């Protein structure tokens, strides 16, 4: 609130900042709730509609009920999603690294060359197995 003489009291500034930050937090919670609802595969369309309707009709109560009842599983779903994304990234990096032009050869070509070296006696069977494990991992 601006006072008639143009000054802005410190308490009003703090209150305005608190209200502004609370609104940002509120929208963040709302977006997180909706994202979780629509990503879920364990509930049907009716349940999703019910949660959205509750959040629209009773905004604060609906979101708090969802957070209290689904907060723990919401965190588990996010952690599982992060692990899945990490596994997919690791798999992609391995596949690209195995067949990258900078390695000079694909994994199959490396194994064939190592097998030929083992047959010629340049590599021992133990060295061949170590190279095989290295290429296949």
Radius of gyration, alpha carbons of the chain: 29
pLDDT (tens digit per residue) in 111-137 = 888 888 888 888 888 888 888 888 777
Number of domains making up the chain = 2
Q: Based on the domain organization, do 91 and 77 belong to the same domain?
A: yes
Q: Are 114 and 132 in contact (CB under 8 A)?
A: yes
The whole-angstrom separation of Cα 36 and Cα 31 is 8
Q: What's this model's pTM, rounded to 2 decimal places?
A: 0.56
Residue 22, pLDDT score: 93
Residues of the domain holding 51: 1-98
Q: Based on the domain organization, do 53 and 112 belong to the same domain?
A: no
Q: Where are the alpha helices (DSSP H) in 40-58?
A: 45-57
- Residue 102 pLDDT exceeds 50: no
Residue that is last in its domain, among 68, 83, 98: 98
Residue 29, pLDDT score: 92
- Residue 88 pLDDT exceeds 50: yes
Q: Based on the domain organization, do 69 and 127 belong to the same domain?
A: no
Question: Which structure tokens are listed for 79?
Answer: 């952690």
């Amino acid at each position: 609130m601006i006072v008639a003489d143009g000054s802005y009291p410190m308490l009003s500034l703090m209150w305005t900042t608190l209200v502004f930050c609370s609104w940002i937090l509120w929208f963040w919670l709302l977006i997180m709730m909706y994202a979780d609802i629509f990503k879920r595969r364990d509930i049907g369309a009716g349940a999703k509609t019910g949660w959205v309707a509750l959040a629209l009709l009773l905004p604060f109560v609906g979101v708090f009920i969802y957070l209290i009842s689904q907060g723990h599983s919401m965190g588990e779903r996010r952690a599982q999603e992060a692990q899945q994304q990490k596994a997919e990234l690791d798999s992609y990096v391995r596949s690209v690294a195995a067949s990258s032009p900078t390695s000079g050869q694909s994994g199959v070509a490396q194994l064939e060359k190592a097998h030929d070296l083992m047959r010629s006696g340049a590599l021992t069977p133990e060295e061949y197995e170590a190279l095989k494990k290295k290429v296949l991992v």
